[in-house]
Amino acid sequence: ALREHAPGGVDVYFDNVGGETLDAVLARLARGARVVICGAISQYNSGGFRGPSNYFSLLVNRARMEGFVVFDYADRYPEAAAEIAWWLREGRLRSREDVATGSVRDFPETFLRLFRGENVGKLVLQIGPG
């Protein structure tokens, strides 16, 4: 899929998954690519963390990988919230939601879908009539 959607390689990647997903992207980097790491959810429950197996691609492609911690930009939250709200209103930014319907009793199973990768976008449990 990466080869089809980024035939010239990936220029910028914002990673919050890590693991195999990051490895796949690193294998398809474009020259001068930038990789931003903000999380590694694929490894949170694995009992340990491992680094990327394709890190040599950073050297070969003269790419950069840098950590990003959102709290470093806390003073800019109001500005960001206003800009994101504007983008949503204009349709420049779209939110994808995966809506499950049910009751409060369905919460644990719905929540576990996050860790099994069974959702696309933001997972929402809608309780009651829609």
The structural domains of the chain, with segments of one domain joined by +, span 2-71, 96-130
Record the tokens describing residue 37, joined without a space. 């790491």
Q: Under CATH, what is the fold of the domain 2-71?
A: Rossmann fold (3.40.50)
**pLDDT surpasses 60 at 124:** yes
pLDDT given for residue 67 in this prediction: 95
d(CA 100, CA 60): 44
Closest CA to 54 of 95, 86, 15: 15
Answer whether residue 41 shows pLDDT above 80: no
Report residue 43's pLDDT band, with 50, 70 and 90 as the boundaries. confident
Distance CA 3, CA 127 (A): 40
* Encoded tokens for 2: 């990466």
pLDDT above 60: residue 107: yes
Quick check: 115 and 91 in contact, CB under 8 A? no
